[in-house]
Amino acid sequence: MLTAADVGLVTNVMTGINAPESLIQSITALLTSNSDGLVDTEVVPVGTGHFGGSTNGHRLGVNAQMAHQEAVDEFQKLADSLRTYSDAIKLWADEVRAVDGTTNAEMTMRAAALAQVTDHIDHARDQSASSTMGDGQYTEPPASGDGA
């Protein structure tokens, strides 16, 4: 049973119920296309041997290899976050559509879904807005070569 405050909150969240379908589709399409674009982007690897046989060249190679791995991870992470945004908006639109927000019973039914939407958005934000690129944990690639 929702309290009056909860009802007010859900009502507030569900504001925009009258958002046009085309707008929702436009936003989700934008997010999805960009997500796909990020996934398809290939970051060219740089191996440890790209910079010759000196010590400092080797040092640069190791760091470049780490940077490459984190960049690849970051692109995947950002693509996932955009898709999560899109899914959240879809869910939000589906849950609030055809709900007038006047009955307490309906509000109670939608509350869990709205909480899920909020969680999705928060997760996507945290995923894409972290200061570090990638997962922040470098894992050495298999010993297959210099990555060239």
Partner 1 sequence: MTDGPERARLRTYLTGAKDEASDLAGDNWRYCGDILKETAFALRLGATKIRDGEGDGQEGGLSGMMADTLLAAFEASSTSMEDKGTRLIGGGDALKDTARVIANAKTAEAGMADLQQPPAYSAPTPVPGVPPTPEEIKAEASKRQAANQEMAAYNAARAQQEAAAAEWTQKLDAVFLESIPPMKAIHGQPDPTEPPPSVPSSPSSPSLPVTPSTPGTPDPTDPGRPDRGETGVRTDGVVRGEPVWEEDPERPEKPERPERPEKPVDPIEPQPPRNPITTPTHPTDPTDAPGPTTTVGGSSQSGVTYNPVAGQAPGGVAAGGSTGGVNAAALGAAGAAGGASGMAGGIRAGSAPAPTGSSPARPIGSTGRSASAGALSRPAGATGSAASRAGAAGSPAARGAAPGSSASARGAGSASARGAGAAGTRGAGSAGGRAAGSAGGRGAAQGSGSGGRGSSGARGAGSGGAAGRGGRKGERDRATDRDSLVYEQDWLGDDDVAPGVLD
Minimum distance of partner 1 from residue 104's CB (angstroms): 19
Minimum distance of partner 1 from residue 37's CB (angstroms): 7
| Phi, psi dihedral angles at 23 (to 5 degrees) | -65, -45
The burial class, CB within 10 Å (0-12 / 13-18 / 19+), for 29 is exposed
Contact of 47 with 145, CB cutoff 8 Å: yes
H or E stretch at 63: helix 55-96
Minimum distance of partner 1 from residue 141's CB (angstroms): 6
- Of 64, 43, 61, 45, nearest to 53 by C-alpha is 61
- Of 108, 96, 100, 99, nearest to 4 by C-alpha is 108
Measured from the CB atom, is 37 or 103 closer to partner 1? 37
Measured from the CB atom, is 7 or 114 closer to partner 1? 114
Q: Give residue 1's identity as a one-letter amino acid code.
A: M
Minimum distance of partner 1 from residue 34's CB (angstroms): 5
Measured from the CB atom, is 102 or 144 closer to partner 1? 144
Measured from the CB atom, is 14 or 107 closer to partner 1? 14
